[in-house]
Amino acid sequence: MQLQQPESKTTADPSSGAAATSSSAIELPTDWTVPKNMSLDNIIRDISKGVSTRSQLSQFCLNVAFVSQLELKSVSDALKDDHWFLAMQDELDQFKRNDVWDLVPRTKTQQIIGTKWVFRNKLDDSGMIIKNKARLVAKGYCQEEGIDYDETYTPVARLEAIRILLAISSLLQFKLFQMDMKSAFLNGFIKEEVYVAQPPGLTDYEFPDHVYKLKKELYGLKQAPRSWYERLSEFFIQSDFRKGKVDSTLFIKKAKNDLLFVQIYVDDIFFGSTNSLLC
């Protein structure tokens, strides 16, 4: 998009003989001009809304849900804050929905991996805090190779591959979309027998000495990224996608004369198609 600049008007100053610029020349442009070779369908946002000002952002703050402005470091402080306590409970609800673990009695032969809470504030594009995120992670540095994990390697999309996908979308003239998988690692199946301690501050009051036996991966475990990639790639292959030979994080599906491209970067997925219905 290009702004149409108003024409500058000058008047002669009889005393100095120099040309003086009139006040209309410094007025800001008000009209949009659209080049003939550019389609408005390629613009995602509404251009009529203009630029967001500080006053509009301050008004926006009054309408969003109240969240904690502090990024805590200890569990004891989080349990005293209602916002962070709800965030911790939401994380455990994700574990329940994904059927991540089972509470089992503790034995002497079990290798128990500790857990800890990580507290982060999620920001929007303007830098405002919109969500308090509490993540329960395993202390992966306590794992022993051959006992708690085996293979850990997983491919990650290179920046050059993402640039090539952007070039392809520009050449074939289709939109690219981006999505983020919520609690992605909780969807990866675990192959090893791994036990973790109960979450600090939120232990089961009936069985405080029990531990959790994992059925799926947990953030912080060394093999978690690999398990997530294996399950996601298996799903794509079963859905008639073809994995790239050079870049194994790129999946392509052909439907008649249309193509659907999917590029994965851990839990971020970029996709686009020459046919919008395939997206």
Q: Which amino acid is at 136?
A: L
Q: 60, 178 in Cβ contact below 8 A?
A: no
Q: What is the pLDDT of the chain when averaged over all its residues?
A: 80
Q: 114-131, pLDDT tens digit by residue?
A: 999 999 888 887 778 888
pLDDT of residue 234: 92
Q: 155, 229 in Cβ contact below 8 A?
A: yes
Of these ranges, 11-15, 194-198, 241-245, the one predicted with the greatest mean pLDDT is 194-198
Q: 205-218, pLDDT tens digit by residue?
A: 899 899 999 999 99
Strand, helix or coil for residue 167 = helix
**Strand pairing category for 112-113 and 101-104:** unpaired
Put residue 164 in one of left, alpha, beta given phi > 0 → left and psi -120 to 50 → alpha. alpha
Per-residue pLDDT band at 102 (split at 50, 70, 90): very high
Per-residue pLDDT band at 62 (split at 50, 70, 90): very low
Residue 143 reports pLDDT greater than 90: no
pLDDT of residue 100: 92
Q: 28-55, pLDDT tens digit by residue?
A: 666 666 566 656 666 666 666 666 555 5
Strand, helix or coil for residue 266 = coil
Q: 260, 279 in Cβ contact below 8 A?
A: yes
